[in-house]
Amino acid sequence: MPHSAPPFTLPRWVDPEAAFLHVFATGGDAFWLDAGREAPTGWSWMGSGRLDDASAPLQRDAAPAGGPTDDSGPFRGGWVGWRSYEGRDAWLRVAALVAFDHARRRVHVFGDADLAARVAGAPPPVTVGAAEPRGMASGRVEPERYADLIGACRERIREGDAYQLCLTTRFTVPGRHDAVAVFRRLRQASASHHAGLIRIGGTTLVSSSPERFLEVRDGRVHTHPIKGTRPRSTDPDRDRALAEHLRADPKEQAENVMIVDLMRNDLSRVCDPSTVGVDRLLEVETYPTVHQLVSEVSGRLVPGTTIGGLLDAAFPAGSMTGAPKQSAMHILAGLEGEERGIYSGAFGWIGDDGAADLAMVIRSVVVEQDAAWVGAGGGITWRSVAASEVAEVGIKARAPLAALGAEVPPGW
């Protein structure tokens, strides 16, 4: 529901992890959008809601300038959920909302006094235990088959059907999993500024995503495509060398710039073309387990653009398809042979005022009733080397699988 009344502002800071465990961890549909452990800035949100008509948030006008003028944050109510790669929406209409302002160390509760008291009274969390060992995850394909698919991608690129193809696969860990514990472990090992847990029905998305897909505020839209990955090293000199190698790698640069151009084209469909520009290009961002090559594109939305219209123009994100987008998606559907589901989609919040902040579903775990699975992949260009691309999949899948107690199968 819209939260037009002023929130309850608590007299002291409350650890978001403590608040979620005490108030929202058990029960029905709930969410926790997390800025990361020990985040010095940014916002985290958590709460509960009910599954709404999937079209409701998409009808919001995304273009109005202006937003909240107080200190209670850019999201005061609306919807939290996801869109799968195939375009299936699941959105919770927010009923209770708690906002954590990490910079000011303030907690705002949109709800009744009882909810505020429960959040304020959250005890310190007990350290999450190690995951039960589950052995090797089951890969959808073997590494050798994935290498063959890379070769097929390069052949389609050679024929001129695409410039880049984001090939993906999946790793499954059978059995029942505690999704909240999985998120706590992933958050501990691989904190990110766009992490989240969203529980809707029998499915829970757990993510440590580093990639912002779309941010809508004050009539503008920003997207932050990521293309290019290197593992971290415990040796400082080696770690710096890995980051610099990523920054200077012509293959990674070309891959990133292709997606920047694609996103510029996508945004120009719903923005004044003269306002679409590249704000950052080929910058290295460092996370606990990987270095990433990141760019940023933005534009001013045309009046009358809805959230649904923006998603129609920009979704799926080019970083998860390749270029040209429609041709790439058609080729990949044939090569991968199965739906991606929530992986490669987007998740986050859409506000009643038309603002939004959506992240990419990468570095994520989807927990279902009797199994959990992790998607991973990478962008293939003509210059791709199969062995390197196979290894990159293993790097990306390792932390999410470890949070489940599983290991990447041999060969990755």
Domains contained in the chain, CATH given: 138-175+211-344+370-407 (3.60.120.10)
- 394: amino acid identity, one letter: G
pLDDT grade for 5, boundaries at 50, 70 and 90: confident
What is the C-alpha to C-alpha distance for residues 74 and 110, in angstroms, rounded to an integer?
A: 13
Q: Kindly tell me the burial class for residue 388, based on how many C-beta atoms sit within 10 Å of its own C-beta (0-12, 13-18, 19 or more).
A: exposed
H/E run at residue 348: strand 346-351
Each residue's pLDDT tens digit, 334-362: 999 999 999 999 999 999 999 999 999 99
Each residue's pLDDT tens digit, 367-410: 999 999 999 999 999 999 999 999 999 999 999 999 999 999 99
pLDDT grade for 4, boundaries at 50, 70 and 90: low
| Mean per-residue pLDDT, 72-93 | 98
Cis ω before 316 (30° cut-off from 0): yes
Strand partners, 49: 94
Asked if the model's pLDDT at residue 1 lies above 60, the reply is no
| Mean per-residue pLDDT, 76-98 | 98
What does the pLDDT read at residue 322?
95
Could you tell me whether strands 135-136 and 406-407 are parallel, antiparallel, or unpaired per DSSP bridges? parallel
**pTM of structure:** 0.94
Asked if the model's pLDDT at residue 160 lies above 90, the reply is yes
> CA-based angle 23:28:30, to the nearest 5?
60
User: Greatest CA separation found in the chain?
Assistant: 64
What is the C-alpha to C-alpha distance for residues 3 and 306, in angstroms, rounded to an integer?
A: 21
| Mean per-residue pLDDT, 279-298 | 94
What does the pLDDT read at residue 121?
98
Cis ω before 124 (30° cut-off from 0): no
- 72: amino acid identity, one letter: S
Each residue's pLDDT tens digit, 91-143: 999 999 999 999 999 999 999 999 999 999 999 999 999 999 999 999 999 99
pLDDT above 90 as % of the chain: 92
What does the pLDDT read at residue 296?
97
Instruction: For residue 30, count other CB atoms closer than 10 A to its CB.
Output: 23
pLDDT above 70 as % of the chain: 98
- Whether the CB-CB separation of 228 and 85 falls below 8 Å is answered with no
pLDDT grade for 64, boundaries at 50, 70 and 90: confident
Q: Classify each residue of 196-219 as buried b or exposed e, where b means 16 or more C-beta atoms within 10 Å of its C-beta.
A: bbbbbeebbbbbbbbbbbbbbbeb
Asked if the model's pLDDT at residue 10 lies above 60, the reply is yes
Asked if the model's pLDDT at residue 70 lies above 90, the reply is no
What is the C-alpha to C-alpha distance for residues 352 and 338, in angstroms, rounded to an integer?
A: 35
More confident residue, 37 or 405: 405
What is the C-alpha to C-alpha distance for residues 11 and 107, in angstroms, rounded to an integer?
A: 8
Query: How many residues belong to the chain?
Result: 412
